[in-house]
Amino acid sequence: MIPFLDLKAINNQYQQELKDACARVIDSGWYIMGNELKTFEQDFAAYCGSKHAIGVANGLDALILTLRAWKEMGKLQDGDEVIVPANTYIASVLAISENNLTPVLVEPDPNTFNLTAETIKNSITDKTKVILPVHLYGQISPMQEIMELAGQYNLLVLEDCAQAHGASIDGKKAGTWGHAGAFSFYPGKNLGALGDAGAVTTDCAELKETLDALRNYGSHEKYKNKYKGVNSRLDEIQAAMLSVKLKHLDEEIVARQNIAQAYLKGIKNPLVTLPTVINNEGHVWHLFVIKTNYREDLVKYLSDNGIQTLIHYPTPPHKQDAYAEYVEQQYPLTETIHEQVMSLPMGPVLDLASVDKIIEAVNAFDIK
Ligand SMILES: *Cc1c(COP(=O)(O)O)cnc(C)c1O
């Protein structure tokens, strides 16, 4: 079976480095908020090209705490509206409702499935305060036009970069276009820890200070609490694992890009629509997502041929029980996307012989 993503093989590439880093932390006797975190925060900020990176416990917390920090800073209040793509992974929406803000779901661009200025424009109201673009599948949203629109209406921009570490436009990376970027280092992400972890990037010193405290009980100084904070820290072991993997991220992105190019060139089947790429160099291919009207059949056909696929995602947020209040709202494009998409195997250790086998199998697929 060609697995969708072979995490063990990915981490095995750096087995010795990871074990050495783990031993270093064990031997240090310091497990939370120490030098490993500081080093990773500095290196990750430098990698992205932002002034600051603040480690937190996971990607959802990176989103939640950034919005929360803006509330503490007086930039947002309960009931303010946040524009978010209707077709995103639910975490982007959860971060908004968790803060008593109002998610305004908007349909994405039909080709890239990302937000654009055009898709956002008509949803801006007096209550809109934030745009939350999601760089879905590793393709960065058109941030120049989104920032221009945000500037016109004086809106904050929080980039959901959970799938887009290192993605860029003209060399400027995801997480540096908006006022903040939220990253996940969930093991299956392009930069994955060996457990949960996340980070926020920003150039804003006040946001950095606020997040430093919010993630640690609201405290800058031991036993002094400025905010009603939470415990959402990125621990030393995970920071050490991430420092090892960050060094190899660019090579892994190139491996993903090579696979994507092979798929884009090789797959020729009228029943299958390939992803639309608007920014070839800057796409980091977290997922390679095709569309077909015959998804169930193609998933089964590939599985019968020893190829594992996944669906990102089967149900949009507004159709989830958690958001029953949205169930009457109509998002036909989003619903069509969720009915048609499926993801082919993609990752830094997928060998080109397997890629050829996948291409052949997709091309041989037909309906009876
Ligand atoms: C994975 C993901 C998240 C959440 O990250 P966690 O670390 O799993 O909390 C948020 N947004 C998007 C788009 C994601 O893919």
Q: Are 141 and 115 in contact (CB under 8 A)?
A: yes
Overall average pLDDT of the 24-43 stretch: 98
Regarding the beta carbon of 193 and ligand 1, being less than 6 Å apart is answered no
Count of residues in the chain = 368
Instruction: Tell me what pLDDT residue 13 has.
Output: 97
Instruction: Tell me what pLDDT residue 168 has.
Output: 98
In angstroms, the CA 168 to CA 6 distance is 26
Instruction: Tell me what pLDDT residue 290 has.
Output: 98
pLDDT, tens digit (0-9, with 9 covering 90-100), for 295-313: 999 999 999 999 999 999 9
Is the predicted pLDDT of residue 107 greater than 80, yes or no? yes
Which residue has a Cα nearest atom 7 of ligand 1? Answer: 59
Is the predicted pLDDT of residue 213 greater than 80, yes or no? yes
Instruction: Tell me what pLDDT residue 110 has.
Output: 96
Overall average pLDDT of the 38-61 stretch: 98
Instruction: Tell me what pLDDT residue 368 has.
Output: 77
How many A from CA of 59 to the centre of ligand 1?
5
In angstroms, the CA 147 to CA 143 distance is 6
Instruction: Tell me what pLDDT residue 88 has.
Output: 97
Regarding the beta carbon of 96 and ligand 1, being less than 6 Å apart is answered no
Distances (CA, A) of 132 to 3, 67, 162: 32, 10, 12
Is the predicted pLDDT of residue 235 greater than 90, yes or no? yes
pLDDT, tens digit (0-9, with 9 covering 90-100), for 252-299: 999 999 999 999 999 999 999 999 999 888 999 999 999 999 999 999
Share of the chain above pLDDT 90, in %: 98
The CA angle 170-135-36, to the nearest 5 degrees, is 85
User: Would you tell me how many other CB atoms lie within 10 Å of the CB of residue 300?
Assistant: 12
Q: Are 168 and 195 in contact (CB under 8 A)?
A: no
Q: Are 295 and 340 in contact (CB under 8 A)?
A: yes
Is the predicted pLDDT of residue 327 greater than 90, yes or no? no
How many A from CA of 192 to the centre of ligand 1?
11
Overall average pLDDT of the 64-73 stretch: 98
Regarding the beta carbon of 113 and ligand 1, being less than 6 Å apart is answered no
Q: Are 85 and 135 in contact (CB under 8 A)?
A: no
Regarding the beta carbon of 84 and ligand 1, being less than 6 Å apart is answered no
Regarding the beta carbon of 114 and ligand 1, being less than 6 Å apart is answered no
Which residue has a Cα nearest atom 10 of ligand 1? Answer: 91
